[in-house]
Structure 1
Amino acid sequence: MTVTNNDCDRPGLKPLETALAELEQARPQNVLPLATEQVAISSGLDRVLAEDVASPSQIPNYDNSAMDGYAYCDASWDGNSPLKVVGTALAGNAYSQQVPSGNCVRIMTGAQLPQGCDTVVIQENVALNDSKQLRINHRPQLGANIRSAGSDVERGQQVFTQGLRLSGVHIGMLATLGVSHVAVYRKLKVAVFSTGDELRLPGTELPQGCVYDSNRLMITTLLQRLNLEVIDLGIIADNPAAIEQAFKQAAVQADAVISSGGVSVGDADFTRDILQRLGDIAFYKLAIKPGKPFAFGYLHNQTSTPDANNRKNATAFFGLPGNPVSSAVTFHQLALPKLRQMSGEAFPQPLRLQVPSASAFKKRPGRTDFQRGLLTNHNGTLEVHSTGNQGSAIFSSMVAGNCYVVLEQDRGNVSAGEIVTVEPFDRWIS
């Protein structure tokens, strides 16, 4: 690793890659929500499967037509003579009789293929006279326009794997299979609070020197997308006893706690010292920008045995910085992957692209930098622009962007035209 003499690269800053690896391996036996429950698929959105799902039937469960047209037996037609239309097959109303040689059946999309038929000619390629004599203008191949039973999913086939977070498409597939209920992990419980005497609620009077509490509302809202149980502990004053009580309450009630502010080195930053007394700090201060004063570890729960929700005796904590961009980036890059793992998913890996930069980016070597960018398609070629001022208090840089420009720890300034790593904002933060 290149060592540079600047204020960003000081002893004690853990590289981001190391922190992520440690997060992935960190004491999962203490926090995994092992308890499961059966839920109706209508309530399954964003729940995490606790077991594999195999198909109880084949899909489709019968041979059916993929098009509106006419079904007939290819071997029984000489390629020239007209076919007699002897009936109609509709979706949900099959033609139940055997179709004799030299005859055909009018069939609609999704209708069961009649007995004795093996091919469907689309209605655009036929001519029908008043005597129900059908002439085929363009002969299809044997088996054309038929969806065979089991061609999508076979009976007993594994369709979904334990650890999958269910989307609307997944739920649609479960309904297609006829599955009404699935086993999912219980919802993770996450407590959230902000610290700072300067914080005020939006909509209230803002005295000189105070700011509105945006971090807690942002984090609780982002957590809702994970379909978690959020315990909002509100704003905690810069008072050691109050902060300690908040952590103790969270350790009893929650699987994880997220605090915002109070983990840097200011005179009123008590959070880190309290965490050291109440638990174990796995790491603190990362080689990441923005978000250097990020802390992760565990609070010790005084309850020695699992509670009714099967929660074990440690509560994960994530100490986010107070600046809003730092809070957003560290939540997204560090807390969110661990919370998803704790919910039963595999530790996720972000989608990253190599893209030419249309802007210059200022950077000093020493920390992995998550600058905010706007990824665009310019005449069929992707390129990324800076959103402007990249200060950790400039929250508009997040709102104006749709991606991170991830600049490597040892990289310096970037000129326009250089290739950079781009991470598009995902569903959790976009």
Structure 2
Amino acid sequence: MKQPEHAAANDCDTGPVAPPLAVEAALALLLDHARPLTDVEDIPTAEARNRILAEPVPSRVDLPGWDNSAMDGYAIRHADLVQPEPASGPAPTGRRLRIAQRIAAGHCGQPLAPGTAARIFTGAPVPANADTVVVQEICQTEGDSLIIPTAALARIQPGANVRRRGEECHAGDVILTAGIRLAAEHLGLAAGAGVERLPVYRRLRVAIFASGDELRMPGEPLSPGQIYNSNRFLLRALLETLDCEVIDLGIVADTLDATVEALQRAAGQADLVLASGGVSVGEEDHVRPAVQKLGRLDLWRIAMRPGKPLAFGHIGETPFIGSPGNPVSLFVTFGLFARPFIQRMQGVDGDLAPRYIRARADFDSPRPDKRREYQRARLDLDQDGEPRVQVFPSRSSAALSSLVWANGLVVVPEGRTIRSGDPVQFIPMGELAR
């Protein structure tokens, strides 16, 4: 839903004010304007955690590189388990094979002769002619003899406990696809496949500032009417979780000139500008007119609670997102909109909308709202193991303690009431801020 270059998506300019955009439409608009980075760096695999992979990565080797044992036990020829019963004499108690060699991980054995076994350990190469590994727990030994009890013979299948060469991947197979955020498991796979360096997009540069004459930094004395600048710490931590390079411009005074200057300075240094506060319609809210003076606004209001006055636009070619000043509103709008936008700019592929869990309400919401509400919530399992959701008692968007108490958000759809026991959608914190 791309807009003409100088048109406002929901009437941000002067004139009649259009209704706020729906949440899905707002997210689609932002993602449509996200321009992924193209600069690629080649960095050591050990340093690539949390970076975005820019190109597919092939394995350098077969995995595994040879047939190897999946267990501690004994490598045998399965054919040696099938022996004719003796014509007379006592019934055998099992198959007896001579233990001819011992193979530890990192060492290779000799080809296995008929009627013999090799003591073998997890990860060690299976010797030539062997095709099966019998786990040590079902075996007995007498001197250099291995005894496999008769009762266990029928359970031993050919090929048991042998990991075949290349069964995970072959040299040249793609093991990591472009557009993923590299986590520990990706780096482990890359290293195991012999990949020493990885191509990743450069880190996204994000400039941040907070508007408000009332803001002070922790450690400074507070005068009446002043508060500590929690948004600076909250926003910086949210961005560092996404491995952004943060350009912190601090606190900006509540004047139009100061706001224009801060936006110009931020846009000149960063790929994205994020501001908190000053985006509503009060006389001291200067961010919106400053952005319009320098560029354009594509979005201003969203039909949601908290976070209705979310601003999105451009300062020249640099995208801008302005969140409300209340910290809970900042957190919610970052998780639902800024985070997916940043991920798309970083080069992350796929559906970026937060995923939710289906659960049952352990609360009542008896009054329908024309806006969709994202309430701070805690999901726990009841005595029957069913997920149930409670909500924080206060709906104040200034209550940071509610985010500490919560482990996610519960969605209260617009125009709906909810009674205890009704199905609800729960968004875990990990989808918003981890």
Query: Given the two structures, how large is their TM-score scaled by the length of structure 2?
Result: 0.90
Distance 1:136 1:81, change over 3 A: closer
Q: Which residue of 2 aligns with 1:384?
A: 389
1:260–1:320 CA contact under 8 A, matched in 2: yes
Q: Which residue of 2 aligns with 1:24?
A: 31
Superposition map of 1:213-232 within 5 A: 213-232=229-248
1:77–1:102 CA contact under 8 A, matched in 2: no
Note the C-alpha offset of 1:77. 3.8
How far apart are the structure 2 equivalents of 1:260 and 1:273? 15
The letter of the residue matching 1:408 is P
Q: Which residue of 1 aligns with 2:411?
A: 406
- Match of 2:112, SS state, is coil
2:103 to 68, 85, 89: 89
2:241–2:433 CA contact under 8 A, matched in 1: no
Superposition map of 1:302-321 within 5 A: 314-321=317-324
2:354–2:432 CA contact under 8 A, matched in 1: no
Q: Which residue of 2 aligns with 1:422?
A: 426
Does residue 287 (structure 1) correspond to residue 303 (structure 2)? The answer is yes
Q: Which residue of 2 aligns with 1:104?
A: 117
2:37–2:346 CA contact under 8 A, matched in 1: yes
1:397 to 372, 394, 402: 402
How far apart are the structure 2 equivalents of 1:186 and 1:255? 11
Superposition map of 1:162-311 within 5 A: 162-300=178-316
The letter of the residue matching 1:64 is N
How far apart are the structure 2 equivalents of 1:124 and 1:293? 66
Does residue 135 (structure 1) correspond to residue 151 (structure 2)? The answer is no
Note the C-alpha offset of 1:360. 1.2
The letter of the residue matching 2:101 is G
Q: Which residue of 2 aligns with 1:148?
A: 164
- Alignment: residue pair count: 402
- Match of 1:155, SS state, is coil
Distance 1:128 1:269, change over 3 A: same
1:283–1:297 CA contact under 8 A, matched in 2: yes
Note the C-alpha offset of 1:422. 1.1
Note the C-alpha offset of 1:81. 4.4
- Match of 1:286, SS state, is coil
1:68–1:108 CA contact under 8 A, matched in 2: yes
Does residue 113 (structure 1) correspond to residue 126 (structure 2)? The answer is yes
Note the C-alpha offset of 1:172. 0.6
1:74 to 73, 78, 84: 78
RMSD: 1.4
How far apart are the structure 2 equivalents of 1:354 and 1:115? 53
Unmatched runs of 5 consecutive residues or more in structure 1: 1-9, 301-313
1:294–1:320 CA contact under 8 A, matched in 2: yes
The letter of the residue matching 1:339 is I
- Match of 2:165, SS state, is coil
How far apart are the structure 2 equivalents of 1:125 and 1:285? 69
Note the C-alpha offset of 1:293. 0.8
- Summarize deviations over 1:47-104 as a string: whole Å, max 9, x none: 0000011222211110001111111111134445411111101100111x22111111
1:50–1:184 CA contact under 8 A, matched in 2: yes
- Summarize deviations over 1:227-274 as a string: whole Å, max 9, x none: 111000000111221111111111110000100000001111111001
1:125 to 138, 151, 160: 138
- Match of 1:241, SS state, is helix
Out of 151-160 and 267-276, give the one that drifted further.
151-160
How far apart are the structure 2 equivalents of 1:89 and 1:356? 55
Note the C-alpha offset of 1:401. 0.6
Q: Which residue of 2 aligns with 1:303?
A: none
- Match of 1:224, SS state, is helix
1:60 to 64, 77, 90: 64
Note the C-alpha offset of 1:363. 4.7
How far apart are the structure 1 equivalents of 2:215 and 2:427? 31
How far apart are the structure 2 equivalents of 1:420 and 1:147? 45
- Match of 1:182, SS state, is strand
Q: Between the two proteins, what is the percent identity of the paired residues?
A: 38
- Match of 2:303, SS state, is strand
Q: Which residue of 1 aligns with 2:375?
A: 371
Q: Which residue of 1 aligns with 2:10?
A: none
Note the C-alpha offset of 1:175. 0.8
Note the C-alpha offset of 1:128. 1.1
1:53–1:160 CA contact under 8 A, matched in 2: yes
1:225–1:428 CA contact under 8 A, matched in 2: no
Note the C-alpha offset of 1:317. 0.6
Out of 79-88 and 117-126, give the one that drifted further.
79-88
2:53–2:200 CA contact under 8 A, matched in 1: yes
The letter of the residue matching 2:119 is R
2:336–2:353 CA contact under 8 A, matched in 1: no
Distance 1:362 1:332, change over 3 A: farther
Unmatched runs of 5 consecutive residues or more in structure 2: 1-16, 84-93
1:334 to 320, 326, 337: 337
How far apart are the structure 2 equivalents of 1:81 and 1:286? 75
Note the C-alpha offset of 1:154. 2.6
How far apart are the structure 1 equivalents of 2:411 and 2:95? 69
How far apart are the structure 2 equivalents of 1:392 and 1:224? 23
Q: Which residue of 2 aligns with 1:5?
A: none
How far apart are the structure 2 equivalents of 1:152 and 1:209? 63
Distance 1:325 1:414, change over 3 A: same
1:15 to 22, 29, 32: 22
How far apart are the structure 2 equivalents of 1:25 and 1:244? 26
How far apart are the structure 2 equivalents of 1:232 and 1:417? 45
2:355–2:431 CA contact under 8 A, matched in 1: no
